[in-house]
Structure 1
Amino acid sequence: MSTSTAVVQDLIWNTANTILRNVVDEQAYGDYILPFTVLRRLECKLAPTKPEVLAALKSAPVSDDLLETYIGARFDLPFYNSSPLDLVKIASVDDNVYASLEAYLDGFSPAVADLWESFKFMPKARDLEVGGALFQMVQHFASIDLSDEAVPDMMMGDLFEDLMYRAFSRKGSGAGEFYTPRDAIRLMVDILFESDDTGLTNPHEIRSIYDPTAGTAGMLLVAKKALEELNPDIEVTLHGQELMPGSYAIGKADLLIQGGEPDALRHGDTLARDLYSERTFDYVLANPPFGGNWTRSKKAVVAEAAVPESRFSHGLPGIKDGQTLFLSHIAHKLTPAGPNGAGGRACVVTNGSPLFSDTAGTGSIRQWLLESDLVDAIIALPTSMFYGTQIATFVWVLDTNKEPRRKGYIQLIDATENYEPMRKSMGDKRREIAEDHRRQIARTYHAFEDSETSRILTAKDFAYHDVVVTRPLRYRVEVNEQTIAAALDHPTATGEHRQVVASMAGKLYNELPTALRAAAKRAGLKMPTALIDHVSGALAVVDPHAEPAVNRQGKALTDGWSMTERVPFTQDMDEHFGREVLPFAPDVTWDAQNARLGYEIPFARIFFKPVEPRPLGEIDADVQHVMADLMRRFQEVKA
């Protein structure tokens, strides 16, 4: 019989108030509670077959390196423990607890042996021993029933989520860096499976799911459960990679408990080294760190970017924009398009940067995704949805083989109002997407039509040209005593040049070089190019009404002012400037030939809803009311 999640959560966390206090820092409670929770769950999982497994290990007809395969096949277990000890037995005596615990952990098979190293379990056990709390800690967890019957798999996932939140909140770390709220995951899963081939519900289907920033594996497990609800006969394989040791340990343990393969979750930096480089996947779910700094991965990323058609060959964003690198990585991890609708789909959470950041690398990745028709939809989520941030967030839906009706199009969905306030906030998370909201968003996605909350657009609708706009330099020629003196202030000038310079009165600035040469030749004088340039500059006076100035090659000169005008790709450039620019700056020119093509996804602008201004009469009445109130108070003070 299962126990309520809240009861078990409180029972486990009460350790912090009863045992760990004054032994370790309060902010580190989670570092001790989480590994003991995992250990207790694993041993409860093994308990029903523990005697039989120990007997089988003694008489196993295989070598040590094949024991795990042998036990797995015989007992349907992905791991085992060869020690006769467990927490209950260790708690039955109060001597040599540390040594007994170490021997017990050493008995776990290779599939889970790295968990305890990732948790730094034994160093933490030593801390507790020194503080006189290790025996109490073992005794406490030995008393908690974490068997499948008491705590079913999904309930265990909720339990991990709560413990993780409590642990990282006490540290002051953003919980969102380690896991994603379940309501956000469920929405992503709904959308992921909304547009799939009909084979999804066929008997004996096989699907693979991958998360390159797996955290505690919550996304993988929720997606697996959703697929199994759609088709109880489906075979789902889970795969992930996670960098943070603590998250990796919890995620790996949870995957193993729920039937995953021992190496389903791999430990390492995904950007620096793809531990699944040999394969692609049917589905990808990910919540990369917002604004993730990829400095530690830079050397490997830059080297891979130099390889044509590699996962990073489409551009390198700013060093603080690792999430856009993950978008590029994920697109390469999707199963390519194939017959009968085969292909890969992904849902990726990002902040706004990948939508409109103008850095060269981010822009080029965005351009590649759009022009390759990989972007199926982008969904704007409500703010205050994640534990560690209140900022606007978006779900990118990628697809290598879109439905025929969606090919060549991108759907934008504004789901910012699809939420309800939480009764009790968790960090920055104050809103949640309830089931009704998820269904509404899924219906909007499925309808695939323009509405107040949906726009169907093409890649070219997001394209633009950045055009450099300049203002011509306009000079008139001013010949007087002052400008003549300035013109002759040059090492190659002589008094004989005075008449040549004076003869330039009435000339246009653009005529000066030719006119000076001609006048000097008639006078039998030499006039070097440097002197001609100097004289031209001395006689030039800025005049907004003069003809535009050009250099000797006939190229127009500018006055040093410039700006960049963004012209939508779908608009004629001359018409745009004639309508949007020339009425306000009739003197400017633009370089259409060297215009730069780019893409941005201005979500807020596309869904902007103008607010009707208040009538002036109402505003005036409010002002009069405020003024009358101020006058009344002034009179009271004066009296």
Structure 2
Amino acid sequence: MDNSVHNKIVSFIWSIADDCLRDVYVRGKYRDVILPMFVLRRLDCLLETTKDAVMEEVKFQRDDAGFTDLDPEGLREASGYVFYNTSPWTLKMLVDTAANNRQILEANFKAYLDGFSDNVKEIVDKFKLRAQVSHMAEKDVLLEVLEKFTSPYINLTPNEAKDPDGRKLPPLTNLGMGYVFEELIRKFNEENNEEAGEHFTPREVIDLMTHILFEPVKDNLPPVITVYDPACGSGGMLTEAQDFITDPEGLIRSNAMINLYGKEINDETYAICKSDMMIKGNNPENIKCGSTLASDDFAGFRFDFMLSNPPYGKSWAGDQKYILGGKDVLDPRFEVPLKDFRGKPDTVPATPRSSDGQLLFLMEMVNKMKDLDKGPAGSRIASVHNGSSLFTGDAGGGESNIRRYIIENDYLEAIIQLPNNLFYNTGITTYIWVLSNKKAEKRRGKVQLINASQMFRKLRKNLGAKNCEFAPEHIREITQLYLDMPNEGVSKIFDNRDFGYYKVTIERPSRKAAQFTPERIASLRFVPALSEVMEWAWEKWGDEVYTRLADHRKAIEAHLEKEEINLSAKQSKAVFDPATWDYQKALLDVAEVVMAEVGQELFMDFNRFTELVDAALKAHQVKLTASERNQLFNAVSWYDEKAERVVKKVHKLSGKKLHELLAELGCTQEQLADYGYWPTGTKGEYVEYESEADLRDTENVPLKDDIHGYFLREVRPHLDEAWINIDQKKIGYEISFNKYFYQHKPLRSLEEVTRDILALEAETEGLLKKLVNFGGGQ
């Protein structure tokens, strides 16, 4: 489409808002009228040529055939489209026959809307157009808006026309309609400062995605091609993909039958997309409305190609109830089969943090890949993401599990870093992920990273945050880099395992000192989690908390409110329950008895201290639960690096048990200490120490490295008492473009810096002299 014609139509339609709606709508609401009216007028134009045929079909069905309900199939055949209108009205007729009566015009307009087929009525409802018609009629601007949209000076039909002055008006093709439509959306989004995830993707980004998706398989396309976008917005990616495949002057020039599928959560954008599908002759029933994450409308479908720009940095908390049931995953799309570090198969959640659901859309597309055993072609995916998808999430977390599943199944072909400020309403760095479940031989087991962040040309005028774009030569260059797979410069090739790592927990022994004192055991009077309020109450009323607690309830509640202490319902119940106070008092009494037995000596060997405490408890026939015992010891012990190590268990290992342990740990007998089993000097006897939580650390060990070798190199020289907690080992995956493409800039030499300083001093001295001379002259 000629750009001048395109710009003229956009300007004309944009002017309707300023001319007709300025005093009726706030500026941010212009789109609520302009977009649906533009769609409606285009549909109206398409149906004009077959209007008489449709009305004859209506008359035949009602009068001659005696149909109670009209047959949609006959009406679609008469209209030549998948939609139709059975009312006697067209938009031009509404204008031509409009009396100076806004109620009549409104009624006729609504009768016109009611005559549409159900698929258009749904679009009208999603746009909430009937409410806008009523509002415009009430404000007496409805006729003016209709006159503008049916002006003979603008051609929204697919046929060439002439204006009243005899000038030719070029036709508005379906492709041209898409350009105008998306330009209007862009302008409205820019006006309303829409968020990054709520606007269409720049045309040149889609162009790059289609090249990457289709060029590698352009000579092996199936006769029927399915294309899917799970966050389709206004449908730009879908229709661009279709145009790329079928363009008679393009690269592919395929005659394949193409079926487009998509889903969109925003009602208005969905209406735009569905109307665009109808206008361009695609099946509008393949476009669904609603949350892609909450419901799987395409369950059982498998698609050849998928491309998307899902919302990033956007919460999916509203969809959680459909995906998660407690710790269980309710939707199989969002859990993946992985193996634990011992090689045992397991199914784990593939659910990222609730604040950002973009990777869930990627998993939706992975779920819709074609099974290779049901066809040799496989599926290809191109999806735009921000940087968090590359590295956010710890090993074993949802994001890392998603990356791990994709990479370990050898789906990831490439990731392309795009320039900043390429999108209209965000300047953040974005990336195109390219996936396939049928990689070319040279790509198997490999991932290509392309740094295209510096491939752009500046715009003469910014479009929102967008200040640059891809030129055709940039798209060609990036595509060629992808196809050729060079391992140099801005293109680097990695093994899949290069992005994986073991997250290994490193433990150090607990060393505790212990001592009974009245001050230390006094804390046992209170529940640790409620100590603040319980201690306040005890200090204020003393023993009355055991006999008159209810009398002080209002005062305690007032204190909680004043100090802004927030308690859960369970905690609040415990505070005001006399049984809680009595329970803790009983524990304090036990501690006093044990203290009298053990004494108030300082112990630097916690092992000996626990023996004496246990003996005292046994002597007095007192049995403590594990929780009570922990509370008692926590009150009277603390970490001291000079104290003896705390023994957890002494193991007697010989013969079969030793071999089983060595097999489980994957180490030799000489290496057992590195895994927390320290020889005592007695044959077959090993001691396992308690670990100190505050000294616990983790190390990320590359998958290609040996964990034990890494430990000996990087940890043991600095921490001679440390050991590997093999039960806490996890596998994670992350991708860092900065790590792989960072170019170090060496510091300037001292001589160079000195020369610059001396030059600045000389320049400054000259300026000062000028200022002094200038002042003296005055």
TM-score by length of 2: 0.72
Which one-letter code corresponds to 1:117 in the other structure? D
Contact 2:598–2:612 (8 Å) recurs in 1: no
Does 2:290 align with 1:255? no
Which residue, 442, 463, 478 being the options, matches 1:441?
478
Q: Deviation of residue 494 (structure 1)?
A: 7.2
The Cα of 1:496 is off from its aligned counterpart by: 11
**Pairing 1:45-60 to 2, within 5 Å after superposition:** 45-60=46-61
> Which structure 1 segments of 5+ residues have no match?
479-488
Given the alignment, which residue of 149, 161, 180 partners 1:141? 149
Counterpart of 2:357? 322
Check 1:167–1:283 CA distance in 2 against 1; reply closer, same or farther (3 A cut): same
Q: Distance in 2 between matches of 1:627 and 1:528?
A: 83
Which of 692, 695, 711 matches 1:577?
711
Does the CA-based 8 Å contact 1:197-1:342 persist in structure 2?
no
* Distance in structure 1 (CA, Å) of the matches to 2:11 and 2:271: 22
Q: 2:447 corresponds to which letter in structure 1?
A: I
Three-state SS of the structure 2 residue aligned to 1:395 is strand
Indicate yes or no: 2:188 matched with 1:167: yes
Q: 1:623 to 1:11 in 2, by over 3 A?
A: same
What CA distance in whole angstroms lies between the structure 1 residues aligned with 2:282 and 2:750?
66
Given that 2:50 and 2:80 are in contact with CA atoms closer than 8 Å, whether structure 1 keeps it comes out as no
Kindly tell me: are residues 386 and 465 of structure 1, through their superposed partners in 2, closer, same or farther at Cα, counting changes over 3 Å?
same
Give the secondary structure class of the aligned counterpart of 2:332.
Answer: coil
Aligned mate of 2:291, from 236, 258, 269: 269
Change (3 A) 1:176 1:161: farther
Q: Is it true that 1:605 corresponds to 2:721 in the alignment?
A: no
| Alignment match, 2:370 | 335
Residue aligning to 2:311: 289
Contact 1:28 1:167 in 2 (8 A): no
Q: Deviations for 1:364-401, whole angstroms, at most 9, x for unmatched residues? A: 22221122222222111111111221111111112122
Residue 117 of structure 1 corresponds to 125
- Listed as ranges, the matches of 1:370-519 within 5 Å are 370-473=407-510, 491-492=593-594, 509=605, 512=608
Identify the residue that residue 683 of structure 2 maps to in structure 1. none
What SS class does the counterpart of residue 198 from structure 1 fall into?
coil
**Deviation at residue 623 of structure 1 after TM alignment:** 3.8
Shift of residue 22, structure 1, vs aligned partner = 1.2
What are the superposed Cα offsets for residues 244-278 of structure 1, whole Å, 9 maximum, x if unpaired?
A: 11111111111111111131212111111122223
Is residue 619 of structure 1 aligned with residue 753 of structure 2?
A: yes
Q: Amino acid of the residue matched to residue 443 of structure 1?
A: Q
| In the alignment, structure 1 residue 566 sits paired with structure 2 residue 700 | yes
Which amino acid in the other structure matches residue 440 of structure 1? E
Query: Does the CA-based 8 Å contact 1:409-1:458 persist in structure 2?
Result: yes
Distance 1:577 1:125, change over 3 A: same
CA contact (8 A) 1:238 1:264 kept: yes
Query: Aligned residue for 1:40?
Result: 41
Residue 247 (structure 2) pairs with residue 210 (structure 1)? no
**8 A Cα contact 1:31 1:167, kept in partner:** no
Alpha carbons of 1:596 and 1:19: their partners in 2 closer, same or farther (altered >3 Å)? same
Indicate whether 1:30 and 2:31 are aligned.
yes
- Give the Å deviation of 1:477: 12
Deviation at 1:628, TM superposition (A): 6.2
Cα 1:86–1:579 change in 2 (3 A) is: same
Q: CA 1:66 to 1:102, structure 2 compared with 1: closer, same or farther past 3 Å? A: closer
| Aligned partners of 2:315 and 2:355 also within 8 Å | yes
SS in structure 1 at match of 2:487: coil
In structure 2, how many angstroms separate the alpha carbons of the residues matched to 1:304 and 1:276?
A: 25
SS in 2 for 1:101: helix
Q: Given the superposition, is the C-alpha separation of residues 467 and 625 from structure 1 closer, same or farther in structure 2, using an over 3 Å criterion?
A: farther
Between 1:580-589 and 1:280-289, the stretch displaced more is 580-589
2:549 maps to none
Unpaired segments ≥5 residues, structure 2: 160-170, 337-349, 516-590, 625-629, 651-686
Q: Distance in 2 between matches of 1:206 and 1:540?
A: 72
Aligned residue identity for 1:171: N
**Deviation (angstroms), 1:329:** 0.9
How far residue 583 of structure 1 moved from its aligned partner, in angstroms, is 4.9
Return the offset for 1:621.
3.0
SS in structure 2 of the partner of residue 594 of structure 1: strand
Alignment deviations for residues 125-178 of structure 1 (CA, whole Å, 9 cap, x no partner): 122122221110010001131011321121211111111012222222236413
- The offset of 1:108, in angstroms, is 1.0
SS class of match (1:199): coil
Q: Which residue of 2 aligns with 1:13?
A: 14
Residues 67/548 of structure 1: CA separation in 2 closer, same or farther (3 Å cut):
same
Q: For the structure 1 residues 341 and 388, does the alpha-carbon distance in structure 2 shift closer, same or farther, using more than 3 Å as the test? A: same
Partner of 2:323: 301
Partners of 2:510 and 2:760 in 1: CA distance = 53
User: Closer, same or farther in 2 for the Cα pair 1:400/1:515, shift >3 Å?
Assistant: closer
| Structure 1 counterpart of 2:291, one-letter code | D
Query: How many Å separate the matches in 1 of 2:41 and 2:261?
Result: 24
In structure 2, relative to structure 1, the CA distance for the partners of 1:526 and 1:18 (3 Å cut) is: closer
Distance (Å, rounded) in 2 between the aligned partners of 1:389 and 1:252:
26
Q: 2:94 aligns with which of 90, 94, 103?
A: 90
The 3 A distance-change label for structure 1 pair 321 and 131 is same
Separation in 2 of the partners of 1:57 and 1:32? 30
Residue 475 (structure 1) shift: 7.7
CA distance in 2, matches of 1:381, 1:218: 19
1:32 Cα offset (Å)? 1.0
Alpha-carbon RMSD across the aligned residues, in angstroms, is: 3.7
Question: What's the CA shift string for 1:176-196, capped at 9, x where partnerless?
Answer: 413211111111111111222
Supply the distance in 2 between the matched residues of 1:79 and 1:117 (Cα, whole angstroms).
Answer: 15
Match of 1:227 among 245, 252, 259: 245
The match for 2:212 is 191
The one-letter amino acid of 1:120's match is K
Equivalent position amino acid for 1:101 in 2: F
Secondary structure of the 1:97 match is: helix
3-state SS in 2 of match to 1:311: helix
Instruction: Read off the aligned partner of 2:424 and give its amino acid letter.
Output: Y
Structure 1 residues 439 and 44: alpha-carbon distance in aligned structure 2, compared to 1, 3 A threshold: same
Give 1:574 shift: 3.2
> Could you list the per-position Cα deviations for residues 17-71 of structure 1 after superposition, in whole angstroms to 9, with x for gaps in the alignment?
2111111101111111111110111111112222222223322459576633223
In 2, the alpha carbon distance for the partners of 1:539 and 1:218 equals 66
